[in-house]
Structure 1
Amino acid sequence: MKNIGFLGAGAMTEAMIQGMITKEFIDRDRLFIMNRSNSDRLAELEEKYGVRTLQDVETLLKHSDVIVLAMKPVDAAYALESMEPFLTDQHVIISVLAGITTSYIEESIQPNIPILRAMPNTSAAIGYSATAIARGKYANQEHSSFTQQLFETIGTVVQVREEKLNAITGLSGSGPAYFYYMVECMEKAAILNGIDQETARHLIIQTITGAAKMLSETNNHATHLRERVTSPGGTTQAGLTVLEKYKYEEAITECITEAGKRSEELGKILERQSHL
């Protein structure tokens, strides 16, 4: 069994640790965490999950076979520089850093180390992440399988080519926020129509949950399910007509496209800054 070390102690690290322990993917004494500055956060995670926390990169790499890069993307260059002297060809690196390519990581370290890149989302906190993973030049199918099993402890996983990850960041990485915004808007509309907020929230959440289950459990296409709800001249048709009037489809398309472009731009900015 491999030991797993985390560089970074934020929400994603905690979600992954909780998922792996809950699903019995790994013993908690095989999990190691370090960050640069927040010793209180390390103490919190150690007490809560019984994992081992460390204070320096050398010790982390000495104890870990798999290194998860989970710090802020702006700290990637410093982290890779500090890791490089202690890496061996026995290590595997998994990055959850938005926009940072495997080729950038490969160029920042000397050995031909297997590197994989993952894009989970914030629903990992409750075990419902939609995660996409891609492998770098030196990673093989065995590395991909291990990484998939790891991320399946916090949700569902798909394997893709790395060039798709920026678009996936715009789709499912940022996707929860789009639904939260929709709920905000629906709550405001409900209040304007005389429904109290608590009642509206209950009805909206159950409506979204039911729609998601219809999509996943009936295996019907969204178009088919929409058409089944929409009677000609009925209430649903009246609402959908307004969405079409305000170019709802175009807005969603542009939203996802622009978020994906921004992921790519941010990655390039960070990579350029690291070479200055």
Structure 2
Amino acid sequence: MMNKKKIAILGCGNIGSAIANGLVNSGLYKPSQIFVTRKSHEQLDKFSQKGFITSSNNLEAVKKSEIIIIAVTPQQLDDLLLEINDELIENKHIMLSVVTGAAINQIKSKLTKKIPVVRVMPNTAIAIQESMTCISSQEEDNNALEIAKYIFDQLGSTIVIHEELMVPATALCASGIAFFLRAIRAASQGGIEIGFHAEDALFMAS
């Protein structure tokens, strides 16, 4: 079932790497079931050593996978979609996008095939499989939404929201970590001022 569908992560930077490693650490996927792409051969070598399938060729990754995770920067998105469009196959591929600010309709407008697209917004805690991930899709893509939810449930917690809530969700889920860290820092600083050693104050505040 799910663990038989190969995944391609296109643009395996920080978030893409965290997704790849998290899925393997969760036991849901084996490295040999995940195809990762990146322009840097040096970075790809690190994945090869772990058993992942690696390439700098996005077309090859799409051909050999069913679930396509788009993890490039917003500036790279349009060129990537244009590059892989002809290799996408209806009723085979689904696309999960973690690209910041990229709306579902924006992505679909660049494709000539009817490919389900799910928008996914994890936060930095995905690196330790503790992400609070927001997910949204259009109604006709509910099956793809369930697949996305199942995948990202392995990397923390998920919540399905309407796409128009993605921007405020970013402030709450992604930026929220920064707010909490500032609160911890302020509390630990207060502890120092009342006489605790810095390490003890930080330990107690956190």
TM-score range normalised by the length of the shorter chain: over 0.9
1:26 partner SS: coil
Offset, 1:30: 1.1
Offset, 1:44: 1.2
| 8 Å Cα contact 2:122/2:174 also seen in 1 | yes
Offset, 1:22: 2.0
Decide which moves more: 14-23 or 126-135.
14-23
Question: What's the counterpart of residue 71 of structure 2?
Answer: 70
Question: What's the counterpart of residue 53 of structure 2?
Answer: 52
Match for 1:22 among 21, 25, 35?
25
| 8 Å Cα contact 1:16/1:153 also seen in 2 | no
Question: What's the counterpart of residue 164 of structure 1?
Answer: 165
| 8 Å Cα contact 1:103/1:136 also seen in 2 | no
Q: Percent identity?
A: 25
Pairing 1:175–2:150 present: no
The AA in structure 2 aligned to 1:5 is A
Match for 2:6 among 3, 6, 14?
3
The AA in structure 1 aligned to 2:56 is Q
Pairing 1:117–2:119 present: yes
Distance 1:193 1:71 in 2: 47
Q: Which runs of 5+ in 1 are unaligned?
A: 206-276
Distance 2:76 2:188 in 1: 38
Distance 1:52 1:3 in 2: 10
**Map 1:58-137 → 2, pairs under 5 A:** 58-89=59-90, 90-136=92-138
Deviations 1:79-136 (A, max 9, x none): 1111112212121100011211010000011111000011111111111111110113
Distance 1:97 1:137 in 2: 20
1:118 partner SS: strand
The AA in structure 1 aligned to 2:34 is L
Offset, 1:18: 2.0
Distance 1:108 1:94 in 2: 15
Distance 1:85 1:138 in 2: 22
Distance 1:58 1:161 in 2: 31
| 8 Å Cα contact 1:130/1:172 also seen in 2 | yes
Distance 2:24 2:188 in 1: 36
Distance 1:22 1:44 in 2: 16
Offset, 1:163: 1.1
1:174 partner SS: helix
Distance 1:72 1:180 in 2: 26
Root-mean-square deviation (CA, aligned residues, Å) is: 1.4
Higher normalized strand content (fraction of residues)? 2
Deviations 1:169-225 (A, max 9, x none): 1100221111112122222222222221100111012xxxxxxxxxxxxxxxxxxxx
